């Protein structure tokens, strides 16, 4: 197996600089916080809403997933994440729709924007450019303008922090800026001391995890509360960066069905490995379920990796697992001898859809 401490591997396989982009993520989060604070929300948006819908796809939607998970027990109104051409039937003039497309050219998101306009919802756009920016400018819709030039999946900070601060400005939630600052500080510590490339294999949680799941099919588990978005992120990053299939499920639901599936098909399951993402504030019964589940999977002859969230605040702990997973995906890409940045099949699909 390749040594993940060998800098020559970056030159050979990470030709587009994905690791450098991930390395700069703490700075992105700081910039995203400042964008959110500087955003001038029109006064007529500071009104009661019946519900909030965040609409987007892929890397542009994962920030909304984190927002929903983080605010699950705090938001004063329901918050939904939509990944489709049309919006749910309940959307109306008392709905706030946050439309997120990093490029501004995502066809499903443009369609959802138009659907929201027809339903007379209040609209706010988060984008760097594109058709969506032009539509918003024409319709006099507020735009949270974010820097361009990144693969959309690398812009999660820009998609999350301005939206969180925006919701605090309309009194949906209280944004604890101390938690935001702790999160950014922790991410920098993870980069420097726990998961960055300069941290050797023996002490690097991300490198060790990548080595463990190399040439296997990872099944990622976490608690429903707060950490469901992390499972989604890990799966997306493993797919796009490492070009690796994985699956995931959540506690306690997986204990009511999926746990019985770790028996067959036996030949295929030999290549499976479970990854349990844990948080110190998981419900005590969830923690107990995780321990019992680990023993059952081990008993079937399969390895289980446990990775614990870091940080004091809930926001920091969520982002700690997100960030570790991002590093894992790049290291696994190197082990797979592939450049993590290009997503040729997605590009092919988008081009094919343009042919009518």
Catalytic residue IDs: 240, 256, 350
At residue 278, φ and ψ (nearest 5 deg) are -115, 150
| Tokens found for residue 148 | 């361009």
* Burial track 134-158 (b if 16+ CB lie within 10 A, e otherwise): ebbeeeebbbbbbeeebbbbbbbbb
d(CA 350, CA 356): 12
Q: Answer yes or no: are the C-beta atoms of 63 and 163 closer than 8 Å.
A: yes
Backbone torsions φ then ψ of 313, nearest 5 degrees: -90, 160
Q: Are 171 and 74 in contact (CB under 8 A)?
A: no
Q: Which one, of 18, 334, 347, 2, lies nearest residue 151 by Cα?
A: 18
Which uninterrupted H or E stretch holds 261? Answer: none
Instruction: Tell me the Ramachandran region of residue 243: left when phi exceeds 0, alpha when psi lies from -120 to 50, beta otherwise.
Output: left
Alpha carbons 214 and 333: distance in angstroms, whole number? 9
Q: Which of 129, 173, 174, 128 is nearest to 31 (CA)?
A: 128
Contacts 24+ apart (CB under 8 A), 231-236: 231/277, 232/62, 232/65, 233/62, 233/65, 233/66, 233/156, 233/322, 233/325, 233/326, 234/275, 234/277, 234/325, 234/328, 234/329, 236/58, 236/59, 236/62, 236/153
Dihedral class, residue 140 (left if φ above 0, else alpha if ψ from -120 to 50, else beta) = left
């Amino acid at each position: 197996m390749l040594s993940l401490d060998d800098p020559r591997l970056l030159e050979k396989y990470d030709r587009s600089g994905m690791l450098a982009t991930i390395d700069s993520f703490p700075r992105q989060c700081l910039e995203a916080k400042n964008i959110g604070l500087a955003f001038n929300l029109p006064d007529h948006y500071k009104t009661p809403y019946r519900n909030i819908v965040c609409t987007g796809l892929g890397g542009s939607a994962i920030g909304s997933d984190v927002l929903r998970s983080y605010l699950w027990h705090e938001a004063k109104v329901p918050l939904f994440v939509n990944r489709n051409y049309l919006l749910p039937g309940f959307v109306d003039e008392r709905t706030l729709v946050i439309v997120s497309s990093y490029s501004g050219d995502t066809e499903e998101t443009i369609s959802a924007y138009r659907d929201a306009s027809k339903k007379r919802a209040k609209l706010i756009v988060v984008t760097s450019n594109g058709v969506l920016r032009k539509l918003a400018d024409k319709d006099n819709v507020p735009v949270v303008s974010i820097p361009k030039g990144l693969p959309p999946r690398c812009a999660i900070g820009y998609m999350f922090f301005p939206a969180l601060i925006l919701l605090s400005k309309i009194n949906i939630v209280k944004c604890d800026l101390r938690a935001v600052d702790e999160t950014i500080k922790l991410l920098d510590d993870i980069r420097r001391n726990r998961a960055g490339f300069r941290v050797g294999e023996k002490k690097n949680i991300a490198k060790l995890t990548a080595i463990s799941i190399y040439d296997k099919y990872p099944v990622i588990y976490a608690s429903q509360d707060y950490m469901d978005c992390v499972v989604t992120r890990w799966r997306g990053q493993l797919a796009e960066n490492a070009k690796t299939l994985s699956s995931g499920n959540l506690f306690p639901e997986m204990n009511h069905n999926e746990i019985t599936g770790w028996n067959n098909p036996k030949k295929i399951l030999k290549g499976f490995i479970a990854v349990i993402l844990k948080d110190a504030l998981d419900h005590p019964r969830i923690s107990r379920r995780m321990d019992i589940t680990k023993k059952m999977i081990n008993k079937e002859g399969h390895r289980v990796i446990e990775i614990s969230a870091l940080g004091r605040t809930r926001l920091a702990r969520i982002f700690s697992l997100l960030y570790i997973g991002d590093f894992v995906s790049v290291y696994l890409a190197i082990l797979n001898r592939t450049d993590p940045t290009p997503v040729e099949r997605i590009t092919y699909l988008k081009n094919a859809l343009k042919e009518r």
